[in-house]
Structure 1
Amino acid sequence: MSRLDPTFTQEFASAMAWWHMAGVDCDFADDATTWLTERAPAGAGAPGAIPVSARRGGPASQPHPGGAHPRAIPSAFADPPAQGVTERRNLLGDSPPADLAAFGQWWLESPMLDDARGFPRVLPRGPQNPALMVLVCQPEAEDRDTLLSGAQGRLLANILAAMGLDDSAVYIAAALPAHRPLADLAQLAASGMDAVTAHHVQLVAPQRLIAFGAGLAPMLGAKGDEPLRQINHAGGTTPVLPSETLDALMDMPRLKARFWRRWIEWSATH
């Protein structure tokens, strides 16, 4: 006689019987437990905690069959811990720099700007009222006296030459005064650096602006996921072409081709 395959009910019953023979006759929860906090005084429940029996529908005061009270676990409805809020500061002060020369001195010397240890502050470069302003996230790691003095700068010079623009006729700036690895631009913008960027653009007064880096959107006043098309400042409105970082363009040739197509379309209407 051939052996019949066991049904699901039979398999389940066999599994339960195996665990019972092994001495496992209770279920356990995998709830997170705080081990490093001080033990609460006897009789005092943890804030925002409910007993296991209450979670399962039984009365909270009902004793455990073994005599011990069930362990209290954090309630799912307890208030979440407060999240850190970025403090916004008036980095420009009550008397913001009135021209690019004053801004450059403030950019190098202001104690209000956070420094990155090991990296110097680097001045932006270029004329006022240019046909084009280029904004990058931060100086290159090897920059000392000249902004974008490394590989990114060489790529940018080639891009500008292909556009028919001389490097010296373009205003080139960074959103941060010094190279800062793993910089959180959104948090820095919320702390007040977005106002610094807007004031900087206002002083430069460019006809157009290219922003190399998606992280620059909050620095230029973009809210949430809205597309970055222009920057509004006290001096007016400047159209913006957002792009990937120069690093990304170097690493992925297809991004160069996409940027060039977007530049041709954008420059034709701006």
Structure 2
Amino acid sequence: MSQPPAGTAAGHSLSALVDAAFAWWDDAGLDGMLSDTPQSWLESDRKAAAKANAKAGNGAASFAPPPPPPAMGGLARDWPQTLDDFHAWWLETPSLPFPPARRIAPAGPTGAPLMILLPMPEADDEAGLLSGRGGKVVDGMLAALGLARDQVYCAAALPVHVPMPDWGQLRAEGLGALLAHHAALAAPQRVLILGRSGISTLLGHSLPNNAADLREFNHDGGCVPAVFAYDLAALVARPAHKAALWNRLLDWTGTDLT
């Protein structure tokens, strides 16, 4: 029986066998050399190593972190400066990452005696903000306070309903600053926040679980008295929450908002 030539195995050259071995490891997911030398995963160390390699002429490109995401709503200097302009911008601007067809506009006059602020429209708000089941709860409270819906300013921090939003991330993307600007344009005398945990986080409060203890809403134009309450879904589901909120409103307003 004849033997394969020296330097081959089963008729394959040594270089072909080496290439096949490397290809096998590459398919297995090993695409770099192994080393017993400890490697740092810290970004600062990686930058320093990249600079050292570049200076040494190793051809390694310096480490560049990805650019930050664009601020939600774009640059603050480009935000509308009147409430009417803000309403139109809120529904149309491409700088908000939400489908324009699903956005819901705020409603109400500038300088209203009360601003009702929601984290976002409710899932059943189809005809407008607070047009669903939660709106009936709000209308009942307003009637007891001697106010009609068209006398108050109703707004939401988000223009659409978003299941389980990450409020911390939304704040990092600039939504909290945009909300403060919106409130400054509306210039209400008081603010009732129905969704205290999300709004509190959005505004940068360090203890959102203690939002019920907050008494003011800070915005670009200063601060106004505020009540931070449970969201509408909780008020609808648990009548005890409505009773507690009503007692707070009586203490807060002295029953006279007009």
TM-score by length of 2: 0.69
What are the superposed Cα offsets for residues 46-99 of structure 1, whole Å, 9 maximum, x if unpaired?
846xxxxxxxxxxxxxxxxxxxxxxxxxxxxx86899x9984626253232111
Report the alpha carbon displacement of residue 234 of structure 1 after superposing the two structures with TM.
2.9
Counterparts of residues 87-98 of structure 1 (less than 5 Å) = 87=69, 89=71, 91-93=73-75, 94-98=77-81
Residue 108 in structure 1 maps to residue 108 in structure 2 = no
Residue 165 in structure 1 maps to residue 110 in structure 2 = no
SS at match of 2:243: helix
Report the alpha carbon displacement of residue 148 of structure 1 after superposing the two structures with TM.
1.6
Partner of 2:138: 156
SS at match of 2:102: coil
Partner of 2:36: 45
Q: May I ask how many residue pairs the two structures share in their alignment?
A: 203
Q: How far apart, CA to CA, are the structure 2 residues paired with 1:80 and 1:244?
A: 41
SS at match of 1:217: helix
Q: How far apart, CA to CA, are the structure 2 residues paired with 1:122 and 1:37?
A: 48
Report the alpha carbon displacement of residue 219 of structure 1 after superposing the two structures with TM.
2.7
Q: How far apart, CA to CA, are the structure 2 residues paired with 1:90 and 1:259?
A: 32
What are the superposed Cα offsets for residues 152-183 of structure 1, whole Å, 9 maximum, x if unpaired?
11111111112221111011111101111111
Residue 253 in structure 1 maps to residue 239 in structure 2 = yes
Report the alpha carbon displacement of residue 222 of structure 1 after superposing the two structures with TM.
2.4
Partner of 1:193: 175
Mean Cα deviation higher: 100-109 or 220-229: 220-229
- The CA RMSD measured in Å over matched residues stands at 3.0
What fraction of aligned residue pairs are identical, expressed as a percent? 37
Seen in structure 2, the aligned counterparts of structure 1 residues 162 and 182 have a Cα distance that, compared at 3 Å, is same
Residue 215 in structure 1 maps to residue 198 in structure 2 = yes
The residue type equivalent to 1:104 in the other structure is H
What are the superposed Cα offsets for residues 81-120 of structure 1, whole Å, 9 maximum, x if unpaired?
99x9984626253232111110011100111111169x70
Residue 266 in structure 1 maps to residue 252 in structure 2 = yes
Report the alpha carbon displacement of residue 239 of structure 1 after superposing the two structures with TM.
1.4
**2:125 touches 2:131 (CA, 8 Å); kept in 1?**
yes
Consecutive unaligned residues of structure 2, counting only runs of 5 or more, are 1-27, 45-65
**1:92 touches 1:196 (CA, 8 Å); kept in 2?**
no
Report the alpha carbon displacement of residue 192 of structure 1 after superposing the two structures with TM.
0.5
SS at match of 1:237: strand
SS at match of 1:254: helix
SS at match of 1:258: helix
Seen in structure 2, the aligned counterparts of structure 1 residues 208 and 221 have a Cα distance that, compared at 3 Å, is farther
Rg (Cα) greater in structure: 1
Q: How far apart, CA to CA, are the structure 1 residues paired with 2:233 and 2:186?
A: 25
**2:126 touches 2:132 (CA, 8 Å); kept in 1?**
no
SS at match of 2:136: helix
Consecutive unaligned residues of structure 1, counting only runs of 5 or more, are 1-35, 49-77
TM-score by length of 1: 0.66
* Residue from 105, 112, 115 that aligns with 1:133: 115
The residue type equivalent to 2:219 in the other structure is H
More helix by share: 2
